[in-house]
């Protein structure tokens, strides 16, 4: 039993419906753009399950990337407005690189992507307008697609880099105000069975990425930080080339919080996707 299970027995929690993957005979697939004629935007069917999502704050210092797949940290950014792309890439990326090196002991961090999200009730993701919170349980990269990103993005160095340890770690932060309405829930990676992670295609115009969709499991232990603040960050390990660590793939999803004040602002957040390298 994961050590987070003993934490959860004593912690406060909320209950929410999380969208898992329903049983299906074909490979799950979603398009990031308008699909070819006759093809659905996604063939994935949700399988909602009501689960307890525990307050992570009483044990913040106990969670670790290699033991659970996530970590909640205090970290104040010098960036106060995330409206300027050059500031995000010039200032925020450097802060994130320094933090990830400090936490993981990595030799190198390469940030390859960031996404700003703003919740608009009723809006669909990957449509016109801001990206929406992702409300389906998933893992952004797989044991296959993590190394492939190294080959895609750093082709001249890939062979050498892949001889060492490679992780894909997301760094997630609320921006402008705390999160009231659509917080991010993370699952203790050690409570998820390997056969509950289902490789799935994410189709872009110029490539096909691979993510994990997730089947429901009764052992899953979920956590979140209530009213998470902009001076906090959540680290999520998506994949890890080391096979001897407890946590390698961390499912996560946004969920709709209950009892949100009518005048509360809707969620705004930024996430970075990073390749974290340890020399062989």
Asked if residues 108 and 277 have their Cβ atoms less than 8 Å apart, the reply is yes
The CA distances from residue 169 to 38, 212, 264, 276, in Å, are 36, 15, 30, 7
pLDDT for 1 equals: 46
Q: Closest Cα to residue 166, out of 238, 112, 235, 99? A: 238
CATH of the domain at 209: 2.60.120
pLDDT for 9 equals: 53
Low-confidence stretches of the chain (pLDDT < 50) are 1, 7
pLDDT for 2 equals: 54
Total of domains in the chain: 1
Asked if residues 2 and 186 have their Cβ atoms less than 8 Å apart, the reply is no
pLDDT for 243 equals: 96
* Domain of residue 240, residue span: 3-278
Asked whether the whole model's pTM tops 0.85, one would answer yes
């Amino acid at each position: 039993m994961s050590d987070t299970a003993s934490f959860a027995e004593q912690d406060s929690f909320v209950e929410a419906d999380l969208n898992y993957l329903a049983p299906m005979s074909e490979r799950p697939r979603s398009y990031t753009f308008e699909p070819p004629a006759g093809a659905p935007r996604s063939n994935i069917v949700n399988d909602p399950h009501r689960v307890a999502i525990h307050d992570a704050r009483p044990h913040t210092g106990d969670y670790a990337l290699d033991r659970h797949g996530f970590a909640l940290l205090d970290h104040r950014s010098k960036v106060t407005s995330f409206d300027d792309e050059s500031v995000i890439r010039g200032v925020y990326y450097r802060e994130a690189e320094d933090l990830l090196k400090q936490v993981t002991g990595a030799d190198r961090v390469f940030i390859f992507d960031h996404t700003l999200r703003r919740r608009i009730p009723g809006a669909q993701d990957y449509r016109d307008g801001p990206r929406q919170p992702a409300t389906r349980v998933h893992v952004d990269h797989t044991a296959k697609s993590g190394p492939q990103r190294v080959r895609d993005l750093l082709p001249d160095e890939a062979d050498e880099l892949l001889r060492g340890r490679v992780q894909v770690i997301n760094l997630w932060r609320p921006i402008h105000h705390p999160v009231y309405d659509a917080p991010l829930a993370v699952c203790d990676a050690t409570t998820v069975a390997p056969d509950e992670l289902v490789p799935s295609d994410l189709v872009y115009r110029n490539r096909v990425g691979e993510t994990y969709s997730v089947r429901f499991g009764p052992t899953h232990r979920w956590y979140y930080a209530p009213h998470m603040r902009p001076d906090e960050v959540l680290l999520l390990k998506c994949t890890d080339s080391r096979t001897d660590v407890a946590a390698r793939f961390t499912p996560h999803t946004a969920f709709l919080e209950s009892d949100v004040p009518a005048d509360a602002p809707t969620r705004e957040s930024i996430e970075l996707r990073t390749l974290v390298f340890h020399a062989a």
